[in-house]
Amino acid sequence: MDARHINARLRHGEALGPEHLKWFAKGLADMTVSDAQAGAFAMGICHVGLGAEGRTALTLAMRDSGRVLDWDLSGPILDKHSTGGVGDCVSLILAPALAACGAFVPMISGRGLGHTGGTLDKLEAIPGVVTSLSEAQFRSVVGNAGVGIVGASDDVAPADKRLYAIRDVTATVDSLDLITASILSKKLAAGIEGLVLDVKCGSGAFMKDPAAARQLAQALVDTANAAGCRTSALVTDMSQPLAPALGNALEVAECMRVLTGDTGGPLLDLSIELGAVLLEQCGLAAEGEGAVRMRASITSGEAAARFGMMISEMGGPTRFVEDWLRFLPTAQVVRDIPAEQSGYLTRVEGEALGHAVVNLGGGRHRESDRIDPSVGLSDIVALGANVEAGQSLARIHAASEEAAAHAEARVRAAMHVTDEVPDILPLVRERIG
């Protein structure tokens, strides 16, 4: 068995068996497979597809190409994955709330991608927090706090890490089979027993089309369940930012307001919905009682306490929850964007808002770019709001007046105020699994 033989099978439209996919994943990890052969493999899958069984086999093969964690803890091992959107900081609320309900959440997360923010970048806006932990440190954090949110080490799904980089430069990112295997191989390598997927759809998401979002959600659910991990998905609306803030420290601030009971809204609602699915799925809550348990873990302050414990264990301030405003960095320039006319906020181009934050320095154009955690947007008006001329649509946090002026022009172009009252879609569009 070799790469040429496997790529030839793909070229001729012949099915690949688990043994072919396992060999290729191992070859990606140990460099037996060349970049050219990996590119041909990805292109072949884009053209031919793997089917449901092949998709599961590739996921397991890439999971097993590196270290797979196992746990000996007193509760179920759970996790959540989002396909990405603007103002989506659910993980920072959901994970500690699940821990407060008796679960353990070893969450392997990523950094910002394109116009969307990354959970690791948000955590690192908190002074001292380190997200690149050794396995022993990761186990200690999860064991003590019930939750740990870290980056993937080099030995977690190394086949995916290599194939992902090759897909990025060979125009083979857009493949249902490869997307599914990439997402799930890393999640399953964390040794989880239950998973909930948040598949975003709308102007602020990578997937704008509802049918495509549903297709991805179904493929992820089917594949994860076939791989032995009980999984469900919610297809959720991203027609506007989930939180009224974009930017790393600003999104952490919104999470702290939710965790300490100062605010609610869609960010709290979706965190509770996703957590309820997991609690009922794993038996920590009876059917219909998951949302009650999730809400109680937040209103009691137990979720905030778990979050604070995790931050302290990962090098952050020991009293972050009690005094978070003092620790989060703030921008040099803060100014409002007044509406130029009265009317309704009819449409929000979420992706454009995300790019505005990236250009402020809140994200990366290149992997080597350094992020300014203090910049971004806050106090973003909700879709459908009736605004008066001169009323603020959003507040800019920038490093300079020049950067703020550029951002203001982009934000104005992305937020449309008209006389038309928009239809507001439900936060959860569909449940799968």
The pLDDT assigned to 206 comes to 77
pLDDT tens digits, 253-306? 999 999 999 988 999 999 999 999 999 999 999 999 999 999 999 999 999 999
Find tokens 């007044």 and name the residue.
338
The pLDDT assigned to 113 comes to 65
Query: Residue 368: is its pLDDT beyond 80?
Result: no
What token pair was written down for 11? 């070229």
Query: Residue 365: is its pLDDT beyond 80?
Result: no
pLDDT tens digits, 231-259? 999 999 999 999 999 999 999 999 999 99
| Residues catalogued as catalytic | 79-82, 119, 167, 182, 186-187
CA–CA distances in Å: residue 414 to residues 204, 285, 355, 365, 409? 11, 42, 11, 20, 9
Instruction: Quote the CA–CA distance of 358 and 365 in Å, as a whole number.
Output: 8
pLDDT tens digits, 68-88? 999 999 999 999 999 988 999
Stretch 325-339: mean pLDDT: 97
Strand 343-348 to 415-418 pairing: antiparallel
The pLDDT assigned to 116 comes to 74
The pLDDT assigned to 396 comes to 98
What token pair was written down for 53? 């069984």
pTM of the model: 0.93
pLDDT tens digits, 102-161? 999 999 988 766 677 789 999 999 999 999 999 999 999 999 999 999 998 889 999 999
pLDDT tens digits, 196-219? 999 999 988 878 889 999 999 999
Query: Residue 406: is its pLDDT beyond 80?
Result: yes
Q: What are the chain's domains? A: 3-64 (1.20.970.10), 78-324 (3.40.1030.10), 333-418 (3.90.1170.30)
Query: Residue 173: is its pLDDT beyond 90?
Result: no
CA–CA distances in Å: residue 310 to residues 77, 88, 106, 130? 16, 20, 11, 11
